[in-house]
Amino acid sequence: MKPWLALGAALGLAIVVAACAGHDWVSPAALWRAIDGDRDLGSRLLVDWRLPRVLAAGCVGALLGLGGAIFQGVFRNPLAEPYLLGSAGGAALGATVALLVPLALPQSLLLPILAFAGAWGATLLVLGIARVAGAVDAAGLLLAGVAVAAILGALRSFLMLALSDETVSLQIVLSWVLGGVQTPTWPVLGLLALITLGCTGLALLLAGRLDVLGLGETMARAFGLDVTRFVAVAVLAGSVVVAAAVAFGGLVAFVGLAAPHIARWLVGPLHRALLPASALVGAIVVTLADAIARAALPPAEIPLGLVTAVAGGPFFILLLSRRLRA
């Protein structure tokens, strides 16, 4: 029970701190007055702009943590991460196409669909390459992921150069690539919260089988798990989660890697606890990172992806060196 209380308290605290932080810092008392229905301008700005942004950052973080935990479970590899395995890059390519290529469907519908298709396709591609190369271990997957991510990144840059004109703002696409949570309206935030809850529920359906898969392929088969089919299903589910995260938050690096690690340390490796804990840790991390992004260099805003990369890069290097030594 203790780690859950701690996680809940930390998330609450992170939300309060993030809501107070920004271009103009406010006191928790002013925050409370605003939530309580105060109608002056400062209070309305807080409620209509800052709070939705803070909560959206929390949801995006939860999705990233969840996606990371699913991918680490499927690949049985603590270094697996949506960003490193190319699925986030695939989602970003899909989103870029949706933003820049004039297609028949409305953008609001097209963007999540193409983001999902990109995430799924890229993950399958990485898995396929690693399998054909006969290297389904950590190094093989990571290298295949790096290669696929590089190709997808080049494609995306090409699309940006070739297709953007005065009618389509490069700014929007760029803010995607660098990662950043857009301030949603309250109804959109409600939708995002629903998606986050739905994804958590979806992930929990996989929990028991992720545990069995973690025993190794031979043992999982011997225990009656249809490994091939389950991996396909879980990759699909993971791609849905990543696509949702990318659709609302762009490319945010390393949260999907770090959150499950911190969660595993807090609640242990069983997925029934690990998945929701990873979501909570991800929410805490991104809420705070987004606050830093908004408040560190006023009046400018640092892209969220840069903040998480600066914080997460060293974390990844630490993990990698510990693993190589072991």
Site residues, other proteins (CB under 8 A)? 76-77, 208-209, 211-212, 214-216, 218-219, 221-226, 264, 268-270
Please report how close the Cβ of residue 141 comes to other proteins at its closest, in angstroms: 13
Cα atoms found within 13 Å of the Cα of residue 181, Cβ hemisphere only: 36
Task: Using the minimum distance from each CB to other proteins, give the nearer residue, 33 or 272.
Answer: 272
Q: Which is nearer to other proteins, 16 or 230 (CB)?
A: 230
Nearer to other proteins, 194 or 219 (CB): 219
Question: What are residue 267's phi and psi, to 5 degrees?
Answer: -120, 0
For other proteins, the closer of residues 219 and 318 by Cβ is 219
For the chain, the first-to-last Cα distance in angstroms comes to 32
Q: How far is the CB of 88 from other proteins (least distance, A)?
A: 23
Closest by alpha carbon to 283, among 298, 302, 297, 262? 262
Which of 250, 224, 216 lies closest to 111 in space, CA to CA? 250
DSSP state of 259: H
* Minimum distance of other proteins from residue 264's CB (angstroms): 8
Rounded to a whole number of angstroms, the minimum distance from the CB of residue 176 to other proteins is 34
Which of residues 48 and 230 has its CB atom nearest to other proteins in the complex?
230
Report residue 317 CA to chain centroid gap. 19
59 vs 220 by CB, closer to other proteins: 220
117 to 1, 186, 221, 225: CA distances (angstroms): 38, 27, 29, 27
* Beta carbon of residue 82, minimum distance to other proteins (angstroms, whole number): 19
What DSSP element (H or E) covers 275? helix 271-295
- Which are the contacts of 29, defined by CB distance < 8 A and separation ≥ 6? none
Give CA–CA dist 42/51, Å, rounded: 12
State in angstroms the smallest separation of the CB of 183 from other proteins: 38
Structure tokens at 156: 């995306």
How far is the C-alpha of 100 from the C-alpha of 159, rounded, in Å?
8
